[in-house]
Amino acid sequence: MSGLVLVGYLGIAVMLLLSVLGMPMAYAMCVVAFCGLSITLGPINAATQSMFVMWEQASNFSLMSIPLFIFMGSIAYHCGIVANLFVAFRRWIGFLPGGLAAAGVMAAGAFGAVTGSTAAASATMASTVIPELKKAGYDTGMSAGAIAASGGLAAIIPPSVFVIIYAVLTDQSAGQMFVAILGPGLLTTGLFSGYCVLRCLITPSMGPRQPHASWKERIECLPSAIPVIVTFGTVIGGIYCGLATPTEAAALGCVAVIIIAGCMRKLTPDLIIPAFKDGAKMSASIFFLFIGGWLMSRFLVTTGTTRHMVDVFVGFQMSRTTLLLMMFALFLILGCILESTSILVLTMPFMYPITQQYGVDAVWFGTFVTMMMVLAGISPPVGLNVFVVRSVCTDIPVTTIYKGAFPFIFIMCVSIFSICVWPDLVLGPVRSMMGQ
């Protein structure tokens, strides 16, 4: 192993150490990458590389879909689409044991169809659903755990910010990825909802039955699903039919949501200004991560560390199953110390080439990685979604939320295992889209 490769591995160790000590991951990657490039290429070349990467990422057309999707979800939240969705699901399945929690999970999945941000989905559902579950006498741990876990559904119900990031990092089609991940997203939503019902069927005190809604009340709430159907159809329908790129579909989705908000008579400065602010803050943090990730990638390529990692993994001559088990364990460990987006940006530059050497389908691997990011979002001790729920519901201890989320961690593992055993859950719709 050469000295430059050792410098690359030392840079990774320092970056992880800085992150564990509390430095934001974007800062840690930028600092380590700039210092590493200064050592290997000289300060002037390091500064040139940094400016080039910043310009390249800020002007990346594919990445423009991220702030558009986030803005779309922000408008949907502020105009009350989510609250209406929960009411609709509540009237249809709230009478079941655990039906109210299942309604919250389904509403989170539906909200995932109009926003790609898991953090936004977790915060929105926590403020909307958990107070209602408390009033109904539901177990606090299960309620908070279900909402923390279902917030992650925004990552595996298209459109998804994680999918766009993966597609850009690996030069894949975001449109194909959106189609591929829909099946696993619906499967996971069904499993989460089914667990809520089954758990409360076994222990009725955890989720008391609610009064039956009349058929009139059920039918009256059906129009509340129209905004989600229209938005989802505009975005995914446009991509699936080949009428729009993901970025164009995101712009059309924003237009659709703005028109819906106008029809609901809620298109006011009090809605637009907070939506712009929320979208700008979240988009800036993601773009900063991208800049740090690309700089780190260039540093590792310059030192030969990326090539060394690939050679080491290929030299093991392991089976694909063993490779995926190793990556499952690695993502699980990283999920205990890093936030999901940081993991994705950090690992793909060297993990993706390794999987290609082993012949793993790129679209399938993207689905696997995205589902692992959902798992990382609720894994202790740094599960982002758990802390988002905690920030909204300050009276619920973090340990209680983690305890309630544990069964959903197991269910998420079952979903990941399912796509490994039946890859056509992912690849079948893509083949259909491609006409194969």
Q: What is the pLDDT of residues 292-302, one digit of tens each?
A: 888 888 888 88
Query: For the residues 229-238, what does the mean pLDDT come to?
Result: 80
Query: Contact 151/108 with Cβ under 8 angstroms?
Result: yes
Query: For the residues 26-33, what does the mean pLDDT come to?
Result: 86
pLDDT tops 80 at residue 121: no
Dist CA 429 CA 329 (whole Å): 28
- Structure tokens, 72: 């779309």
Give φ, ψ of 419 to 5 degrees: -75, -20
Give φ, ψ of 301 to 5 degrees: -70, -40
Dist CA 231 CA 233 (whole Å): 5
Question: What does the pLDDT read at residue 392?
Answer: 78
Q: Categorize the per-residue pLDDT at 194 as very low, low, confident or very high, splitting at 50, 70 and 90.
A: very high
Q: Categorize the per-residue pLDDT at 14 as very low, low, confident or very high, splitting at 50, 70 and 90.
A: confident
pTM score, two decimals? 0.84
- Structure tokens, 67: 């702030």
pLDDT tops 90 at residue 368: yes
Listed in sequence order, the residues at least 6 apart from 220 whose beta carbon sits closer than 8 Å to its beta carbon are: none
Share of the chain above pLDDT 90, in %: 8
pLDDT tops 70 at residue 205: yes
Question: What does the pLDDT read at residue 390?
Answer: 83
Question: What does the pLDDT read at residue 1?
Answer: 58
Question: What does the pLDDT read at residue 126?
Answer: 81
Question: What does the pLDDT read at residue 193?
Answer: 92
Q: Categorize the per-residue pLDDT at 252 as very low, low, confident or very high, splitting at 50, 70 and 90.
A: confident
Per-chain mean pLDDT for the chain = 82
Share of the chain above pLDDT 70, in %: 97
152: Cα within 13 Å, side-chain hemisphere = 31
Query: For the residues 347-352, what does the mean pLDDT come to?
Result: 83
- List the one residue out of 372, 324, 342, 22 whose CA is nearest residue 181: 372
Dist CA 244 CA 389 (whole Å): 35
Asked whether the bond before 353 is cis by omega within 30 degrees of 0, the reply is no
- Summarised one tens digit per residue, pLDDT across range 402-428 is 888 899 999 999 999 999 989 888 888
Burial of 337 (0-12, 13-18, 19+ CB in 10 A): middle
In degrees, rounded to 5, the angle at the alpha carbon of residue 413 between the alpha carbons of residues 200 and 332 is 125
pLDDT tops 90 at residue 287: no
- Summarised one tens digit per residue, pLDDT across range 62-81 is 778 788 888 887 787 777 67
Question: What does the pLDDT read at residue 345?
Answer: 81
Q: Categorize the per-residue pLDDT at 116 as very low, low, confident or very high, splitting at 50, 70 and 90.
A: low
Question: What does the pLDDT read at residue 435?
Answer: 65
Dist CA 111 CA 156 (whole Å): 12
pLDDT tops 60 at residue 436: no
In three-state secondary structure terms, 223 is helix
